[in-house]
């Protein structure tokens, strides 16, 4: 990072951005990078998530999933609706596809737990499956608003699963790249990991469409 410029990404600048108790404004020579503001907002959501977890829920794996899902939901809100179905140069899919995809994958993976109540209709699987593309869509697909309703129900189902099983319940094995996941905890962990991957993609869209 160049030095001697008016814009200095300093630890002091980060503290000013993250400490709500500081009422004074940073000097003109201290500018907090926008990505740090976004990260701070998301970690605030994570801290809030930990405070509202139901008693008995596994806070390590369910909180990780809930945090990742909340990050995706927040990032989606930063992208104008008219951009949801655009596939920018250098991208394979749209915002709409990415959002539907994380719901379908979560439904499929958590469905390996016998007590998980699926909330995603089977007809959503094909248009949002891995390897699919909006360019292949021939039938009407569920809107973002419809997917958001399904997402809310899915998160409730995941929370119920974590609460009732404590995360230790054995599941049908879900195998990915030679690794087998065979408990509720493990399924929630891989779903959280997958959602984190797509959070990064949605963040790229958000930055692209805001410029």
- Is residue 11's pLDDT more than 60? no
The mean predicted confidence, pLDDT, of the chain is 79
Contact by Cβ (8 Å): 158, 164: no
105 Cβ neighbours under 8 A, 6+ residues apart: 130, 191, 194
> What does the pLDDT read at residue 46?
45
Phi and psi at 32, nearest 5°, equal: -85, 125
pLDDT tens digits for 147-199?
999 999 999 999 999 999 988 899 999 998 888 999 999 999 999 999 999 99
Q: How far is CA 154 from CA 90, 159, 189, in A?
A: 31, 9, 16
Domains and CATH numbers, the chain: 1-32 (no CATH), 34-210 (1.20.120.450)
Phi and psi at 45, nearest 5°, equal: -65, -40
Contact by Cβ (8 Å): 183, 115: no
CA diameter of the chain:
60
Environment class of 147 (CB within 10 Å of its CB; exposed 0-12, middle 13-18, buried 19+): buried
> What does the pLDDT read at residue 33?
52
């Amino acid at each position: 990072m160049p030095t001697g410029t008016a814009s200095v990404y300093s630890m002091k600048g980060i503290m000013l951005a993250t400490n709500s108790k500081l009422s004074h404004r940073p000097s003109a020579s201290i500018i907090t990078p926008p990505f740090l503001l976004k990260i701070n907002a998301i970690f605030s959501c994570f801290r809030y998530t930990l405070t509202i977890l139901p008693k008995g829920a596994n806070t390590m794996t369910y909180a990780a999933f809930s945090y990742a899902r909340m990050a995706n939901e927040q990032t989606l809100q930063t992208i104008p609706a008219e951009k949801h179905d655009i596939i920018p140069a250098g991208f394979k899919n749209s915002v709409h596809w990415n959002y539907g995809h994380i719901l379908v994958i979560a439904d499929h993976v958590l469905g390996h737990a016998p007590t998980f109540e699926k909330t995603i209709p089977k007809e959503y699987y094909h248009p949002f499956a891995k390897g699919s593309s909006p360019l292949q869509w021939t039938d009407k697909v569920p809107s973002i608003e419809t997917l958001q309703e399904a997402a809310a129900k899915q998160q409730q189902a995941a929370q119920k699963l974590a609460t009732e099983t404590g995360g230790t319940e054995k599941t049908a094995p879900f195998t990915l790249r030679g690794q087998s996941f065979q408990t509720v905890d493990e399924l929630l962990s891989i779903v959280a990991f997958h959602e984190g991957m797509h959070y990064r993609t949605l963040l790229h869209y958000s930055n692209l469409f805001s410029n």
